[in-house]
Structure formats: C-alpha cells, structure tokens
Amino acid sequence: MTKTYQEHPFAEYVRILGKGKKGSRSLSEAEAFDAMSMILDNKVEDLQLGAFLMLIRVKEESPEELSGFVKAAKHKINAPENITVDLDWSSYAGKRRHLPWYLLSIVMLAHQGIRVFIHGASGHTAERLYTENALVDMGFSPCNNWQDAEQQLNRHHFAYMSLEHMLPRMNNMINMRPILGLRSPVHSLSRLLNPLNAPVVLQGIFHPPYAGLHQQAGALLGYPTLSVIKGEGGEIERNPDNSTTIYQSNNGVLDSEEWPAMFERRHVKAPELSVSHLLKTWSGEVEDEYGEAASIGTLALALKSLGRATSQEDALRQARHAWASRDKNYFNSLKR
C-alpha cells in the first residue's frame, strides 16, 4: 500500500517564491505576515525555512514583504505601550574598520533629553565589534527585559536590548548567516522593527540599493519619519570622509538629501578597535579628528531627522556645540 503525505501548510509560501522565472512572484503583505507568523511560532521545518529565506534572498525582498514580516514580528514582540521613546536606533552590523563612534552621538542625544532605544544583535559575523560589547566596555549594561529597558531609559535616556531577548527565534535566524553563507531578509526586517514605536526611525545599511526598499517599507508601516543612510560598516554612522545621502520617508512622502564630505582627504583606519580609545577621545585625553567628526556628523543627521534642526548647517552647529560642551568626566562617573 502506497503511503500518502499531506502537504505542509508552509509549502504554499515556498511554492509561490520558487515556481521559476514565469511562475514565481513576491508575497503580498498579508501572505508575508502569515508566513513570518508561522516561522516565529516554530511551525515550519528547518528545510522549509532555509529554502524560504534563500528564495527571497535571490529575488530580493519587496516593500510589501518586509512590511508584512515586520508586522508579524512586532505582534510577536508585544512590547509594552507605556514605554515611550523619541528615536529608534537599530544596530545589527557591527564595526570592522572604525570604532563605533555613533555611540558617542547617542550619548550626546541622551544628554539633550532625547530618549533613544537601541536594538541589535551580535556575534553573527566574525571579527566585528558589536554595540552590545562596546557598551559593556563603556560602563553600560544591556537590557534583558522591558523592565530593564524602562529603568535605563529613565536613568540614561537610552537603552540597548538584544534581539535575543526581544525575539529569540529571529535572533536564531540572524545567526544562520555562517550556515547559509549569505545575509537573509531578517537582516533588513530587524532594522525596521521599531519595537517601541518611536516617531523617528534611523536606519544604517551597507548596500545603497536597499535604501529605497527601507523607505517604502517604512511608509507602509506608517512610521512618521524614517531616515536611511549608507552607514560606515552598515551601522548608523556618518563617514566624514565621504558624502552622505539621507533617504527619508516623512508621513509616506519619499525624499532624499545629500550631505557633503566633512574632509577633503580620507583618513587612515585605526590599527585596532579599542573602546578605550573611544573613551579617551571623549574625555579629551587623546585627539582623533576622524572620530570627533564621525560623532558630530552622526549627531547632526539625527538632530535633522528629529526636527531639532532646520538645516544641515543648523544641525552641524548644534552638534559641534554639543561636542564642545560635553561632560568629559561622564564615563568616569559611571564607574563610581
């Protein structure tokens, strides 16, 4: 007697993506929501998940797919509504060539009373310095739950929570990169999560063609303001040696603005990534022209996106003032 097998419910979504050049298509937002919900509920086989992620990787995500994926993930995270923040800051790439100067930008934002929620992942790519590890070296503790996040936001005006604690299943998917050999849609959708529904979302990407995708997905998700840059190493950090284009979605209206390079000549990268050097630059013990400019330039981009500055010139003026008037003993005070 021949045994018959009932088709797995998730097979439909693999089939939609994989029917060939003429038969395949992108998922609708509703289909993407359902597919990601099944994945996050552990209702798919490992073989199906790998095929699904790589089929999307080959064709590249659509804005509707990203929006559906993000909505499913946000539903699963179910973050508390009583925690309010001004700015969502995603950090999933890690730094390889330069230090994470954006962390000094975040501290300066926090000292202006701007509440910043940082979320990210670490360890998925070798030989990179990740935000979580750098913050520990700077004297801050990552948050393990939403109560921790609320307390740190109230104390420091910023908090970092790993995807591992928000959505373990998705964190596992990010860590599949060494197994699959390629990034997957998870690397895009994680940046768009905005778990606490901040009115302003910043995005750092590595590949410029993804900027439009993030813009459109942000509009579909209803984020009031979303700004995307090709950040240094893929993080939200302005490289002062290069011109920077900000791709924005403001209440669904897509736009872009170019910011010129801050230097005429490129700087040589540091021989090693030492958080101690970052802290000494903040305290004024050492001078680092590149690091100072990266911190100021990134802060300026954030201030402009937040609506705290009326122009590039105004944003840079405010950012330079914030750097000049910073509390140079701030990090030392954390150790007391």
* Overall average pLDDT of the 127-132 stretch: 90
Residue-wise pLDDT for 22-72, tens only, equals 888 999 999 999 999 999 999 999 999 999 999 999 899 999 999 999 999
Residue-wise pLDDT for 190-221, tens only, equals 999 999 999 999 999 988 888 999 999 999 99
Tell me, what's the pLDDT at 181? 80
* Overall average pLDDT of the 221-226 stretch: 98
Pairing relationship of beta strands 200-205 and 225-230 according to DSSP bridges = parallel
DSSP state of 195: T
* Overall average pLDDT of the 70-94 stretch: 95
Tell me, what's the pLDDT at 124? 66
Q: Which CATH number among 3.20.20.10, 1.20.970.10, 3.30.70.250, 3.40.1390.20 corresponds to the domain 11-77?
A: 1.20.970.10
pLDDT at residue 110 greater than cutoff 70: yes
Give dist(CA 120, CA 236) in Å, integer. 12
Q: Are 192 and 218 in contact (CB under 8 A)?
A: yes
Give dist(CA 157, CA 216) in Å, integer. 29
Burial 103-136 (b: 16+ CB within 10 A, else e): bbbbbbbbbeebbbbbbbbbbbbeebbbbbbbbe
Chain length of the chain:
336
CATH class held by domain 87-334: alpha beta
Q: 3-state class of 228 per DSSP?
A: strand
Domain boundaries in the chain? 11-77, 87-334
85 CB-contact burial (10 Å; exposed 0-12 / middle 13-18 / buried 19+): buried
Tell me, what's the pLDDT at 269? 82
pTM for this structure?
A: 0.94
